[in-house]
Chain A
Amino acid sequence: MKAIDAINIVKTYSSGGTQNTVLKGITLAIEQGEFVAIMGRSGAGKSTLLYQLSLLDQPTSGDIVMDGISTRKLSESALTKIRLSKLGYVFQDYALVPELTALENAAIPLLMQGHSDSVAYAKARVALEAVGLEKRINNLPSKLSGGEQQRVSIARAVAHAPKILFADEPTANLDSETGRRVIDILQAFHERGQTIVMVTHEEEYGLLADRVIRLSDGMIESYR
């Protein structure tokens, strides 16, 4: 069953009168439960593709179909609702809200979904336990190491049980040992059935994915 269908995605940026086409007609499908790594050299369009697939950005042309629904003409508000209900995000720089504790960061999507405080915090606690942070739940991001912050970010991304988890170079700011631990956590979630789409430039981590999509100059160079 397809989780995402990307149909002929083109993304062009305009700057100073010049047009730069970063994605040049990408078509791909990601199956439910798959762990897909998007790889490629710097400037190949990996992150841009992830932003289109994860509905953080709108393609210039083409369509992203999610659960059989075209997202091409959806409003920003409708896209936000889809992101809240179906998608989870792990950003390269963790992207935690600095005023919220680890527990609150993980709970906020659940609160937005309408869960009561007790349910939201209970689910967030479970997610933080799953990434090994049960003893740091009341810490603000500034009191956590980079690896811990990224684990909070993963907990936030999975706490509301999204259909697809997107990770944009989740190990880029981490040392190799911590990075490895983060990947292990993602793999563990994948083994429990979580669909994951991850951008990485680390060959080692790409090998762990079910499938690797290699981009070059805005086009798919190869599948594995």
Chain B
Amino acid sequence: MLATIRVAWFLAVRQIRRASPWTTALIVFVMMLTFLNLVVVGGILVGLPQGSQLAYEREYSGEVLIRSLPTKEYIERSEDMIKTLRAFPEVVQISPRYLTGGKIEANYRTAVGPKQEPDALMIQIGGIDPVLEHEVTGIGELLFVGENLDPEEEGYVLLGKDLLEEYTVGAGIIGAVTLTNVGVGSKVRVEVNGSTKELIIRGVLSSKIGEMSTRAFMLDTELRRLSGRTDRNVGEIAVRLRPGANPMAVRDALKASGFADVARIQTARESQGTFLEDIEDTFEILSAAIGSIGLMVASITVFIVIFINAVTRRKYIGILKGIGISGSSIELSYVFQSIFYATFGAFFGLVIIYTLLVPYFAEHPIDFPFSDGVLAVPIDGTLIRLGLLVAVTVIAGYLPARMIVKGNTLDAILGR
């Protein structure tokens, strides 16, 4: 057996080494493209919903999001919960948000006639501590116009870009219902629970997460006063954890601390519901289908390459058998060649993926309406695809070799 493998290796190495370098390069190139097709197409498809999930976690929810129960407007015992959360070693920062429905109006100064439509929107308003919010969601970096709120300076509001006509051009999530002719520095009137206040737009948030792009944010103290709230119960709490911390452990610990009955305590993934997960699952199926076509192409390519090689070398295969080289050695030598083509093709594919494509897509995400798509190519999944490619090419290399090797030795030698 050992001699069989040694001779197979001996033959394979010399065949590859002394083959035309252009032919070898071409085959390796085809295998590389096949591998890229196998990994990158699926990576992009899965990367679209995954990009959305990552952005949701990064820009809105943190790793754990605590929301009020569906039947309540706020989280009872919020202060206790915040205190408990701050005691968890995994928690880096939390951002409690007061949430309330309200109206925001732009043309309240100029609208005089009863027939004139008010330029107003019913929206959700978040009351935040801008420093905490920035530490959890980086809200300051989401501002593409203007600047963040100052905790010491009341009278300002941040608006999600989908609330403003200037930045949506009719493509906003809420369609044409947007505020017109307002931007940073403009005054708007906010009405909450019958109380109104004039605020200046300090910045506009750009995010593909609806909760950020369709909300208005003002100082929590100011919103509480405006809404007449005297309690300190908040509407939601975004929790940022230390890198590597397990959000499920924090969720479970918080539930175990007795807060399960007063709030929906969920990881970022759970709080998104199943919509994105369903999309991701669908894209994974699509990617598997596309990948299997790629695998078929790879196997047919290798089959043809090895078949042509074996057919043109049929005489020498006959001679090798004639002088006593076992058929298994000859077949195995072709299997080794197939593995060579597949692994080198995949190697160059890996280099391209992890040194060029992943950094490129991280720097220039795919601009998709609901997300900035990343290239989702986890190393374990990539290695599985590499293994699949090698396995398929091994079979594709073995079959034609077997077909030729099992032929009559003398016929092969004499070219009959």
Say if the beta carbon of B368 comes within 8 Å of chain A. Answer: no
Smallest CB separation, B393 vs chain A (Å): 21
User: Is B322 among interface residues, defined by CB-CB distance under 8 A?
Assistant: yes
A161 in contact (CB, < 8 A): no
**Other-chain residue from B325, B326, B413 in contact with A91 (beta carbon distance below 8 A):** B413
> Which of A87, A95, A111, A112 is the most central at the interface, judged by chain B CB atoms within 10 Å of its CB?
A112
Segment from B2-10, B63-71, B191-199, B268-276 that makes contact with A: B2-10
Q: B148 interface residue, CB < 8 Å from A? A: no
- B123-161 vs A, CB cutoff 8 Å, 1 = contact: the mask equals 000000000000000000000000000000000000000
- Inter-chain CA distance A108–B413, complex, in Å, is 17
On chain B, the residues within 8 Å of A76 by CB distance are: 327, 409
B323 near A89 (CB under 8 angstroms)? yes
A99-136 contacts to B (CB < 8 Å): 99-100, 104, 108-109, 111-114
Contact B320–A97 (Cβ < 8 Å): yes
List 14 A–B pairs whose Cβ atoms lie within 8 Å, in order of A's numbering. Answer: A56-B409, A77-B326, A80-B321, A87-B324, A91-B413, A99-B15, A104-B14, A108-B325, A109-B323, A109-B324, A112-B4, A112-B7, A112-B326, A157-B323
Q: Report B290 CB to chain A, min CB distance, Å.
A: 37
Whether the Cβ atoms of B324 and A111 lie closer than 8 Å is no
By a beta-carbon cutoff of 8 Å, the part of chain B in contact with chain A is 2-4, 6-7, 10-11, 14-15, 17-19, 315-316, 319-327, 329, 409-410, 413
A98 CB–B CB distance under 8 Å: yes
> 10 tightest A-B contacts by CB?
A84-B324, A99-B18, A83-B324, A114-B3, A95-B319, A57-B410, A99-B14, A56-B410, A112-B7, A99-B15
Say whether A85 faces chain B, with CB atoms less than 8 Å apart. Answer: yes
Given contacts A80-B321, A111-B3, A113-B3, contact A100 B326 (CB under 8 A): no
User: A140 an interface residue at 8 Å Cβ cutoff?
Assistant: yes
- Tell me whether A180 is interfacial, beta carbon within 8 Å: no
- Is A156 on the interface with B (CB-CB < 8 A)? yes
Beyond the given A99-B14, A112-B7, please list 14 additional residue pairs across the A-B interface where CB-CB is below 8 A: A51-B410, A56-B409, A56-B410, A76-B327, A76-B409, A80-B325, A83-B324, A97-B316, A108-B7, A108-B10, A108-B11, A111-B10, A114-B3, A157-B323
Complex Cα distance, B316 from A140, in Å, reads 15
Closest B residue to A114 by CB, please name it. B3
Contacts of B323 in A (CB 8 A): 83-84, 88-89, 108-109, 156-157
- Chain A residues with CB under 8 A of B17: 99
Report the separation of the CA atoms of residues A57 and B411 in the bound assembly, to the nearest whole angstrom.
9
B16 to chain A, nearest CB (A): 9
Cβ–Cβ < 8 Å partners of B11 in chain A: 97, 99, 108
Say yes or no: A97-B319 contact (C-beta < 8 A), given A51-B410, A111-B3: yes
Minimal beta-carbon separation of B388 from chain A (angstroms): 30
B415 CB to nearest A CB, Å: 10
Residues of B contacting A157 with CB < 8 Å?
Answer: 323
Residue pair A56, B413 in contact (C-beta under 8 Å)? yes
Task: Please determine whether A80 and B3 come into contact, CB atoms closer than 8 angstroms.
Answer: no
| Residue from B14, B329, B409 in contact with A100 in the complex, judged by beta carbons closer than 8 Å | B14
**A114 surroundings in chain B (CB, below 8 A):** 2-3
Is B410 a contact partner of A80 (Cβ separation < 8 A)? no
Using A95-B413, A99-B14 as known contacts, say yes or no to A111 and B322 having CB atoms under 8 A apart: no
Cα A87 to Cα B326 with chains together (Å): 14
Contact partner, B329, options A51, A89, A97, A112, Cβ 8 Å: A112
Q: How far is it, in angstroms, between the C-alpha of A108 and the C-alpha of B14 when the chains are bound?
A: 12
**Residue A81 interfacial (CB < 8 Å):** yes
* B121 smallest CB distance to A (angstroms): 77
Q: Is the CB of B324 within 8 A of A98?
A: no
Q: Check A80 against B327 for contact (C-beta < 8 Å).
A: yes
Q: Which residues of B contact A112 (CB under 8 A)?
A: 3-4, 7, 324-326, 329
Contacts of B6 in A (CB 8 A): 111
Q: How far is the CA of A33 from the CA of B212 in the complex (A)?
A: 96
B-contacting residues, A30-57, CB 8 Å: 51, 56-57
Q: Closest approach, in angstroms, between the C-beta of A147 and any C-beta of chain B?
A: 19
Q: Which chain A positions have C-beta within 8 A of B19?
A: 99
Q: State A88–B319 Cα separation when bound (angstroms).
A: 12
User: Separation in Å of the A15 CB from the closest CB of chain B?
Assistant: 11
Residues of B within 8 A of A83 (CB): 322-324
Q: Which residue of A lies closest to B10 (CB)?
A: A111
A111 touches B7 (CB 8 A): yes
Q: In the complex, which residues of chain B have a beta carbon less than 8 angstroms from the beta carbon of A98?
A: 18, 316
CB < 8 Å: which of A77, A91, A140 contacts B18? A140
**Closest CB-CB distance, B356 to chain A, in whole Å?**
35
Q: In this complex, which of B321, B322, B329 has the most chain A Cβ atoms within 10 angstroms of its Cβ?
A: B322
- Measured between alpha carbons, how far is A99 from B10 in the docked complex, in Å? 11
Cα A111 to Cα B316 with chains together (Å): 17
Residues from chain A with a CB closer than 8 A to the CB of B10 are: 104, 108, 111
Give chain A nearest CB distance to B285 CB in angstroms: 45
Beta-carbon contacts of A54-86 to B below 8 Å, as 1s and 0s? 001100000000000000000011001101110
Contact A109 B325 (CB under 8 A): yes
Shortest beta-carbon distance from A151 to chain B in Å: 16
Q: How far, in angstroms, from A98 to B319 measured CA to CA in the complex? A: 11
Considering only CB atoms, which chain B residue lies closest to A116 in the complex? Answer: B6
CA distance A108 to B409 in the complex (A): 18
Provide the bound-state CA to CA distance between A50 and B368, in Å: 74
Whole-angstrom distance from the CB of B376 to the nearest CB of chain A? 43
Residues of A within 8 A of B322 (CB): 56, 83, 89, 95
Which residues on the B side are within 8 Å of A87 (C-beta)? 324
Q: List B contacts of A109 (CB < 8 A).
A: 323-325
A97 to B410, CA, bound (A): 16
